[in-house]
Structure 1
Amino acid sequence: MTISVARTAISIPVRGLSWLGDQGTRAIAALVVFGIAIPPLGAMLRPYVTEAIFLLLCISFMRVDLIALRDHLRRPGLIVAATAWTTIGVPLIFGLIAHLTGFDTRAPGLFLALMLQAIASPMMASPAIAALMGLDATLVLVTLVTSTALVPFTASLFAALFLSGTLDISPLALGLKLLAILAGSLLVATAIRWIFGADAIQRHRRPIDGVNILILFVFVAAVMGHVIADFLANPVLSIAVAALSFAVFFALLIVTTLLFRRIGYEQALALGLMVSQRNLGLMLAATSGALPAFTWLYFALTQFPYYVAPQMLTPIARRLTAKTETSRTASATSTS
């Protein structure tokens, strides 16, 4: 009887987490709404952003498909090119344009936000989002892993080049903190995979998704908590910053897709999606949130294109996928 009661007590929250995990993008959209609508909750959760990002990284590393990772590493040329573009090309272009136009001195808060966005690694959720859109997520996954491994070194380099005196943390300390967060989460994820096994993690995918969404809420609420107050204080500025966040997102998406179009527009679009979605939470964790209010505002409003654009682009992605499948079928038929 006692065992039955214990099992029931455990199964109820597991079912709840499974249901939450099944909601997918709808749950993420709801998180944004709740984060905006309940500002006091954001203020209460803001001190825990670093811990939330660490746990999100643990879950992401825990679920990496190691077989797919090994298979794709057999084509290192494309991986090197994509990794170099997202870790070196993007921040270098951002920094040079800002420096040459004097934007870094005219709008230091916005420049800091843009540079932190540029030097960040791609979002850990990028492969999952690409898969939900019907795109091949394998290339995205491998590039994500390689660029994330490099970001402690590239971030400290570009922080030294372009953010000297702007950040409250030194470039070296930034790199070391990023390394500690990433290495620590990888070690925890590896331990979990070793103890429970990859099969068990796959079987419990739905409740794990639910846990992921709950932890993500801490980050979303902390970042979005002041959006309404900022909008009421200066609606024109808030709209302008939101428009800029969409412009940066689509600029990175389009440029990356065009740069890699020779590998096929389906994979190029997947890479473009990855490059345009930067892990701003990792930058918040590395800086302990010690950033100007304007930088926080930009980070908050950047969440909108991150979660809205994939919905907008899904019909295009599905057409590209269907076109690719048709070409493969025709090629296989002609060969046989």
Structure 2
Amino acid sequence: MPSFFQNLFVLPLRGLTWLGGQGTRAVAAVVFIALAVPPLGALLRPYVTEAIFVLLCISFMRVDLAALSGHLRRPALVATATAWTVIGVPVIVGLIVHLTGLTARSPGLALAMMLQSMASPMMASPALAALMGLDATLVLVTLVTATALVPFTASLFASLFLGDMLSVTPATLGLKLIGILAASLLAATVIRWVFGAAAIQRHRRPIDGFNIVILLIFAAAIMGDVASDLVAQPVFTIGLALLSFTIYFTLLAITTLLFRRIGYERALALGLMVSQRNLGLMLAATAGALPPTTWLYFAMTQFPIHLAPYMLTPIARRLTARATLATAKKRPRPGDEMKIIS
């Protein structure tokens, strides 16, 4: 009997450990599983807010406080990256949406694009950057500062660009975002206090696996209607998918070019973070009370969000190897000091 209860816990733990070891392959598979099983979406849609809350808790729980404080001692780069993420991106997208008349022609799509630009980066961005072999520390610090500011910037840009398109007022949106983020941070702090940072680090693989399971729940919840939409309006649905890829890789490319002076490896990590917007946070803050087109666009964004890390991993590894080689060449070799003296 004791062995039965032992296996009851050991087997799921092994499964999560294996899943966590699959890295970006598992993240990419999530979107296809969610697409292939539409009934799963209908079953899980009521739990979107809970899935987002758990994802936020996991991310806050894993924050490396030492690395965070170290980067905050050099605030210029973090401040610039944060300003670009939470101010630059929504301003540019808001101007494009209004100058092109998209607000009048397709308000649901305009709302989706604005909510996407106003959202903070995904809490999983540092983990994805690490899985790709990129330095996740700068991503983590910028993510924390951007997430802290987003309730205020989102409220501001909602009042400037969205008018009465939202079902909640800009002030309510900001307050809900503060509440969700504060509650998840509190829960994560309690978990770290109870179990300790060392235990969390020791069990990083099963935690990665659990994170992927929650990502599947979220992706399935918002992609439940994609298959039927693809049959009913194939051209429109495919067009939204292409648009989501275009916006994702445009943000990635512009950010990487803007920050190229810090090295392409670190700039790509920032580009990944800026491209991975936390749409789930906006869904939770609006209680999912959004037009069908907005929901469909959000569903389409799951394709680049889950596939891009897998697609970009070879590039990221080449850039990391090049940066490591360049650093090694700059280091003095044994005996160099004697040559200089002589």
Output aligned runs, 1:3-152, within 5 Å: 3-152=2-151
1:247 corresponds to 2:246: yes
The answer for the alignment partner of 2:283 in structure 1 is 284
Q: After TM superposition, give the deviation of residue 114 of structure 1 in Å.
A: 0.3
| Identical aligned residues as a percent | 69
Worse-matched range after superposition: 325-334 or 245-254: 325-334
* Distance 1:49-1:65 versus aligned 2 partners, 3 A rule: same
TM-superposition CA deviations, 1:249-290 (whole Å, max 9, x none): 111011111111111111111111110110111111111111
Q: Which amino acid in structure 1 is aligned with residue 301 of structure 2?
A: T
The answer for the alignment partner of 2:340 in structure 1 is none
CA contact (8 A) 2:17 2:205 kept: yes
Q: After TM superposition, give the deviation of residue 62 of structure 1 in Å.
A: 0.4
Worse-matched range after superposition: 295-304 or 126-135: 126-135
Q: Which amino acid in structure 1 is aligned with residue 86 of structure 2?
A: T
2: distance between equivalents of 1:202 and 1:293? 41
2: distance between equivalents of 1:145 and 1:287? 22
The answer for the alignment partner of 2:171 in structure 1 is 172
Output aligned runs, 1:169-318, within 5 Å: 169-318=168-317
5+ unaligned residues in a row in structure 1: which ranges?
Answer: none
Q: After TM superposition, give the deviation of residue 24 of structure 1 in Å.
A: 2.7
Q: Describe the SS at the equivalent of 2:290.
A: coil
Worse-matched range after superposition: 237-246 or 16-25: 16-25
Q: Which amino acid in structure 2 is aligned with residue 195 of structure 1?
A: V
* Distance 1:107-1:318 versus aligned 2 partners, 3 A rule: same
Q: Which amino acid in structure 2 is aligned with residue 282 of structure 1?
A: L
TM-superposition CA deviations, 1:77-120 (whole Å, max 9, x none): 00000000000000011111222222211111110000000000
CA contact (8 A) 2:23 2:131 kept: no
Q: Describe the SS at the equivalent of 2:135.
A: coil
Question: How well do the aligned residues superpose, as a CA RMSD in angstroms?
Answer: 1.5
2: distance between equivalents of 1:234 and 1:114? 20
1: distance between equivalents of 2:79 and 2:297? 30
TM-superposition CA deviations, 1:108-153 (whole Å, max 9, x none): 1110000000000001111111112221111111000100111111
Q: After TM superposition, give the deviation of residue 5 of structure 1 in Å.
A: 4.3
The aligned length equals 335
1:330 corresponds to 2:329: yes
Q: After TM superposition, give the deviation of residue 3 of structure 1 in Å.
A: 4.7
Q: After TM superposition, give the deviation of residue 9 of structure 1 in Å.
A: 2.6
Q: Describe the SS at the equivalent of 1:123.
A: coil
2: distance between equivalents of 1:13 and 1:270? 32
Q: Which amino acid in structure 2 is aligned with residue 290 of structure 1?
A: A
Structure 1 length as normaliser, TM-score?
0.96
2: distance between equivalents of 1:207 and 1:320? 28
2: distance between equivalents of 1:250 and 1:27? 21
Q: Describe the SS at the equivalent of 2:331.
A: helix
2: distance between equivalents of 1:17 and 1:272? 29
Q: Describe the SS at the equivalent of 1:121.
A: coil
Q: After TM superposition, give the deviation of residue 12 of structure 1 in Å.
A: 2.3
Q: Describe the SS at the equivalent of 2:139.
A: helix
Structure 2 length as normaliser, TM-score?
0.94
TM-superposition CA deviations, 1:17-61 (whole Å, max 9, x none): 222222333333332222112212211211110011001100110
CA contact (8 A) 2:24 2:132 kept: no
